[in-house]
Structure 1
Amino acid sequence: MAYVISEDCVACGTCIDECPSGAISEGDRYSIDPNSCVDCGTCADVCPTGAIAPGE
């Protein structure tokens, strides 16, 4: 299951460079393309606000 980014995202950019599949898109709140996400969890590990978690 792909990871998702919650409303707690502050668009700091920390996760983008860490994503090995380029699944994260910038915006007011970042988003993860579920078709590109490889479910590695690297983004969640580096997120300073804890806004990224496994989807359901």
Structure 2
Amino acid sequence: MKSYENVITVDVKNQRALRKEIWELKADMEYQIDTEKSETEAKTSLKEDKIRVK
């Protein structure tokens, strides 16, 4: 049972880290040109997909 709890804890921490990265990427978009925004949106989308898959 402890192993299961550890897995859940690690998963929650990973999701929090991904959400923080997404937030930072979106905050940076304010200062980017259109090409950079497109690249950042793609990175954000990939990270959001990782969260949805879990």
TM-score (norm 2): 0.29
Greater helix share, structure number? 2
TM-score (norm 1): 0.28
Higher relative contact order (CA 8 A, sep 6+): 1
Higher radius of gyration, 1 or 2: 2
